Amino acid sequence: MSDRLHDLYAEQGQSAWLDNLRRDYITSGKLVEIRDGGARGLTSNPSIFQKAIQGSADYDEQFHELIADNADGNTHDVIEDYWSLVIQDIHGACDVFSKMYDHSNGVDGYVSVEVAPNLAHDGPGTESAARELHERINRRNLMVKIPGTEEGLAPIQQMIAEGRSINVTLIFSLPRYADVIEAYIAGLEQLAADPEADLSKVASVASFFISRVDVEVDKRLEANGSDEALALRGKAAVAQGKLAYKLFAEQFSGPRWDALAARGARVQRPLWASTGAKNPDYSDVLYVNELIGPDTVNTLPDATLDAFVDHGTVARRVDADVSDAESVWAALPGVGVDMDDVAAQLEREGVSSFAKAFDELIDALATKAAGLSG
C-alpha cells in the first residue's frame, strides 16, 4: 500500500479525512483498513446518508426494528428513525477513530455529522440541534457540522463558547471565512472567561468547498468567451484556497490569538471539501496536490482518496505562488466574474442540495414504513 496518506501528515502536516460513511464500511472492517491506510478522520453529510441508506439493504434490519417498536398506534416519526440510523453509523465511526483521537492528542480522529439541512437559515434552531446532537451522540471525537451561513455564525460562536467541537461547512467566500474565524475566536474568548476551562478540548475546522467554485466560475468564463477569460479556467478554486490559507495564517497569530494559545487553544484548521475534480479535463488530484500544507485537512471522497494514494504528489503547495493566486483573483472581475455573486449562488445551491437529499430520503423511509406497518 502507498504511504502517501501517512507521508501527507508526517511530512506536510495535512490530515486526510474520508468524505464518506456507509454501514458496511463499519461492519466489514473496511473503515479500519482506510484508517490504517492513513485516513485520520471522517466527514458525512445528508447526501452521503441518502446514498448509503437508499442504496443498500444494510439498514433494513434496524429500520424494521424501529417500525416494530412503534406499537402505540401513533403516526410513525420517520425523521426520528433517520437520526437513529445515522447515529448508529456515527457511533461506529467514532469508535473506529477513537484511538486516532487519543494518539494524536485530539488533533485528529474526528467524525462529523450535520444538523438537519432545513435549519441552515434558522440560527436558534441550529443552536438547539447542534447541542442536542452533541449530547445525544456523546462522543469526545464528534464534530457537529453547522453551515457557514450568516445565520449559522451565532450558533457556531455559542457552541465553541460551550466547549463543543464544530465543523463549519459550506464556506464559499473569503469574507464569510473571515466571519467564521471571528466566531471561533470570539467563542473561545467566551470560554476562556472561565479560568478552569480547558481550551485544548475544543477543536474546529472551517470547510471551504473547492471544486464547485471552478464549476461555476468556469461556466461564467466560457460565457464571456474572451481569450483572457478562457485563460482563467480551472484557476479560481485553487486561488481562493490559497488566499484562504493566507487569511488563516494572518488571523491565527498576534496578541489576541497568542493569549488563547497560551491557554491551550487550537487553531481552527482550514478543511478543503468538495475536492473531487468534476471537470474530466482537470487532474483528478488537482484539488489535493495544490492545497497541501501544515495545519490543514483535506476531506476526500473514495475515488479521490484512491487517486491520490495512486499518483498524488506529497509537497507543500498551499502557500506557494500566492502572488499568482492574487493575480487570478484580481483578474476575475475584469472578465465579468463577481465572486461575491458566485459565493451566494453556491451557498444557495449547497443548502438546497443537502435539503433535497434529506427530503428524498425521508420520503423513501416514510413509504417503506407505511408498507411495513400495513
Residues forming the active site: 145
CB-side neighbour CA atoms (13 Å) of 51: 9
Angle at 236 between CA 250 and CA 231, to 5 degrees: 135
Instruction: Quote the CA–CA distance of 334 and 346 in Å, as a whole number.
Output: 21
DSSP string, 291-337: T--TTEEEEE-HHHHHHHHHH------TTSSHHHHHHHHHHTGGGT-
* HEC secondary structure over 142-203: EEEEEECCHHHHHHHHHHHHCCCCEEEEEECCHHHHHHHHHHHHHHHHHHHCCCCCCHHHCC
CB 63 within 8 A of CB 368: yes
> H or E stretch including 270?
strand 269-273
Instruction: State phi, psi for 193 to the nearest 5 degrees.
Output: -65, -25
Question: Residue 188 is placed in which grid cell?
Answer: 473561545
Query: Which residue has cell 451557498?
Result: 347
Question: Residue 311 is placed in which grid cell?
Answer: 499518483
The residues near 340 (Cβ < 8 Å, ≥ 6 apart) are: 173, 175
Instruction: State phi, psi for 312 to the nearest 5 degrees.
Output: -75, 170
- For residue 329, which of 236, 245, 229, 221 has the smallest C-alpha distance? 236
Instruction: Quote the CA–CA distance of 83 and 44 in Å, as a whole number.
Output: 13
- For residue 89, which of 46, 151, 119, 37 has the smallest C-alpha distance? 46
Q: What's CA 326's distance to the chain center, in Å?
A: 25
